[in-house]
C-alpha cells in the first residue's frame, strides 16, 4: 500500500523535473538544500495511456486526472509532441457520464462534478475513452456520455493495443 502512495508522487516529480535539468523548477532555498540532477530526463514524443480502472482520489479529484493534466502541461512547456489517452472503465466508468446519467447512477442531483476537468483535459489534447463493455453492464449509451468521450470496444483490449503500439502505461 505504501508503494501506491509514493508512486504517483514519483511520477509527477519525474514529469516536473524532465527537461532542462529541472534546476529552474526546484528553487531550493540554500546550498544545504541544493539538488544536483545526475540523470536528466528527456522526453521525446511520449505516448502515454493512463489506466484508470479504479477510483484513486486526492481529496475530491481523481489522481489520474491530475497527472494527465500535469503531463499535458509539461509537454506543452517542453514544446514536445506527445499523445495522452485516459482509459476509464470498470469502477471509474461513471466519471464519463453526463449530468443526467451521472445523477441517476450516483443517486444525486449535483450533476457530474468532473465534467469541467474532463473538458479541460480534452482542450489540452488528452483523449478520454470509455469502455463499451462497462457501458453495456450499466445500460448506458453514447447519449449518456460527456461531449468528446470516445468509446472503445473494450478497455482491456484497448490497453493491450496501445501498449503494443508503444504507449507507456501509467496506473495511478
Q: Quote the pLDDT of residue 114.
A: 98
Distance in angstroms (rounded) separating the CA atoms of residues 37 and 21:
6
- Among 142, 140, 159, 122, which Cα is nearest to 168's? 159
Please give the pLDDT value at position 11: 52
- Angle made by CA atoms 103, 123, 160, in degrees to the nearest 5: 80
* E-state strands within 37-152: 47-52, 57-58, 61-62, 83-88, 127-131, 150-152
- The residue behind cell 505504501 is 2
The whole-angstrom separation of Cα 60 and Cα 113 is 9
Domains of the chain: 43-170 (3.40.1260.10)
pLDDT score at 3? 44
Q: Which residues of the chain have pLDDT under 50?
A: 1-7, 10, 20-21, 23-24
- Give the separation between CA 139 and CA 135, rounded to whole angstroms: 6
Predicted pLDDT at 2: 44
- Does this model's pTM top 0.95? My answer is no
Q: Provide the pLDDT for residue 26.
A: 52
Q: What is the layout of strands, in order, in the sheet containing 150-152? A: 150-152, 127-131, 83-88, 47-52, 168-170
64 φ/ψ angles, rounded to the nearest 5 degrees:
-60, -35
Amino acid at each position: 500500500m505504501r508503494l501506491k502512495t509514493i508512486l504517483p508522487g514519483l511520477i509527477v516529480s519525474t514529469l516536473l523535473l524532465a527537461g532542462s535539468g529541472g534546476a529552474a523548477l526546484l528553487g531550493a532555498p540554500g546550498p544545504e538544500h541544493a539538488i544536483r540532477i545526475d540523470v536528466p530526463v528527456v522526453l521525446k514524443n511520449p505516448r502515454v495511456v493512463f489506466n484508470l480502472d479504479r477510483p484513486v482520489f486526492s481529496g475530491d479529484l481523481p489522481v489520474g486526472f491530475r497527472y494527465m493534466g500535469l503531463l499535458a502541461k509539461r509537454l506543452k512547456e517542453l514544446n514536445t509532441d506527445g499523445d495522452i489517452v485516459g482509459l476509464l472503465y470498470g469502477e471509474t466508468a461513471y466519471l464519463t457520464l453526463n449530468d443526467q446519467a451521472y445523477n441517476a447512477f450516483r443517486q444525486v442531483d449535483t450533476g457530474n462534478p468532473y465534467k469541467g476537468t474532463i473538458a479541460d483535459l480534452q482542450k489540452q489534447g488528452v483523449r478520454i475513452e470509455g469502455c463499451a463493455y462497462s457501458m453495456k453492464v450499466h445500460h448506458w449509451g453514447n447519449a449518456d456520455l460527456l461531449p468528446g468521450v470516445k468509446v472503445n470496444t473494450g478497455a482491456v483490449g484497448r490497453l493491450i493495443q496501445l501498449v503494443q503500439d508503444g504507449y507507456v502505461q501509467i496506473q495511478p
